[in-house]
Chains A and B, each alone.
Chain A
Amino acid sequence: MQDTEALLCAALSGFNPAWPVAGDADFTAGFLERSVYHGVQPLFHYLVKSDQAIALGWPQAVLEEFHWQAIAWTMWELRHQALLKQVLELLAGMGIQPVLFKGTALAYSLYPGPALRSRGDTDLIVSLEDRVRVAEALEGLGFMREAGVSGDFISYQASFTLTEANGSSHSLDLHWRINNSQLLARLFSYEELRSRAQALPELSPHAFAASRVDALLLACMHRSGHKRSP
């Protein structure tokens, strides 16, 4: 596993590594599995030129898989973007200004294209007072609230999923506190994040994301949470 991750790291860092083991199906399968785990297949396809990779011995099958995944993620992103625009416009009309954070916020602020930052959902935080109205608005758009624990001291977030006619599904994680841990939940309030939020004009005129400093701190907090309960 270490070799495959080191190879991924080197390729994504621009070191142009050669494929180390020709004809080893297990290594190839392991490499693809780790690239899916880290969600970097579209980014790899963007950064690594295929003719150069072939000259360095990279298997055609690996490059083709990354090519198809890049297209699949582009398709998903376009659908997800259309949905987010609809949600953000609706909430803006209600006077509600959510703050996006984690994957979608980074996809639209740090990456050359949002489809390069693969992710499973979009995280947004609203004020404690607005959470019920936002939940109702999402349900009005056809989102289904996923079963989960509720109660002010049990959970500070709810997941909503919309499944389109073509089977494509899109999830939003609605937060009214930044973390479910009692210890960390009050570290960043919605109001604090909103006061420093940055616009995401590529997504929508109504889209705002946590500032880069807040995004870094949130990433550290998120990672520490995973270390505590992976």
Chain B
Amino acid sequence: MNLTDKVTIPEQVMARQVGEETVILDLASGTYFGLDPVGARIWQLLGEGRTLAEVCESMLAEYEVSRDEIERDVNELLAALVDKSLIKVESASMP
């Protein structure tokens, strides 16, 4: 994934607060994915249509974390979400 890539969330995928946890639910497949508060914040930023670079910038401003760490964590989270078809990544280089 590239930092200029943009993420879209399919219509049937929704996030909800369940108790103390934020969960992502795919209504079509029944897939469930739990997020901690940091993951939930990343999800919220993605839902606002930010690019990965913009997500990382916001996280850097909000949390005490190095750029390397946040870029690695965002990439890992996104890879897991792509793997479960909970998001689609659009390459910035695509026409």
- Minimum C-beta distance from A225 to chain B (A): 34
Q: Decide yes or no whether B25 CB sits under 8 A from chain A.
A: yes
Q: Give the CA-CA distance A81 to B58 in the complex, in Å.
A: 33
Q: A71-B32, A75-B32 are in contact. Are A82 and B27 (CB under 8 A)?
A: yes
Cross-chain contact A79 with B20 (CB below 8 angstroms)? no
Q: Which of B11-19, B60-68, B72-80 contacts A (4 or more CB under 8 A)?
A: B11-19
Bound-complex Cα distance A49 to B30 (A): 26
Asked if B20 and A49 sit within 8 Å, CB to CB, the answer is yes
- Judged by a CB distance under 8 angstroms, whether A67 is at the interface is yes
Report A56-93 CB contacts with B as 1/0, cut-off 8 Å: 00000000000100110011001100100000000000
| Contact, CB under 8 Å: A74 / B18 | yes
Q: Chain B 28-59 against A: per-residue CB contact (8 Å), 1 yes, 0 no?
A: 11101000000000000000000000000000
Question: A168: nearest residue on chain B (CB-CB)?
Answer: B30
Question: Cβ of B18 and Cβ of A45 under 8 Å apart?
Answer: yes
Q: Given A45-B18, A74-B16, verify A166-B28 contact (CB < 8 Å).
A: yes
B87 at the interface (CB under 8 A from A): no
B side interface size, CB within 8 A: 14
A67: B residues at CB distance < 8 A: 18-19, 21
Task: Determine whether B23 belongs to the interface, using a CB cutoff of 8 Å to chain A.
Answer: yes
Across-interface contacts of B20 in A (CB, < 8 A):
49-50
Is A46 located at the chain interface by the 8 A CB criterion?
A: yes
> Residue A78 contacts which of B17, B21, B25 (CB distance < 8 angstroms)?
B25
Name the distance in Å between B19's Cβ and chain A's nearest Cβ.
Answer: 5
Note all chain A residues with C-beta closer than 8 A to B16: 74, 78, 115
User: Which A residues lie within 8 Å of B21 (CB)?
Assistant: 67
Chain A positions within 8 Å of B27 at CB level: 75, 78-79, 82
Which residue from A46, A75, A82, A166 sits with its C-beta under 8 Å from B19? A46
Once the chains are docked, how many angstroms separate the CA of A171 from the CA of B32? 23
Q: A75-B30, A75-B32, A166-B30 are known contacts. Are A70 and B18 too (CB-CB below 8 A)?
A: yes
A178–B44 Cα distance when bound, in Å, is 44
Shortest distance between the CB of B20 and any CB in chain A (Å): 7
Query: How far does the Cβ of A33 sit from chain B's closest Cβ, in whole Å?
Result: 22
Q: Tell whether, in the assembled complex, residue A166 and residue B18 are in contact, meaning their CB atoms are under 8 Å apart.
A: no
Q: Which 4 A-B pairs have the closest CB atoms?
A: A45-B19, A70-B18, A75-B25, A74-B16
Residues of A at under 8 Å CB distance from B? 45-46, 49-50, 67, 70-71, 74-75, 78-79, 82, 113, 115, 166, 168
Question: Given A78-B25, A113-B17, A115-B16, 8 other A-B contacts at CB below 8 A?
Answer: A50-B19, A67-B18, A67-B21, A70-B18, A70-B19, A71-B18, A78-B14, A115-B18
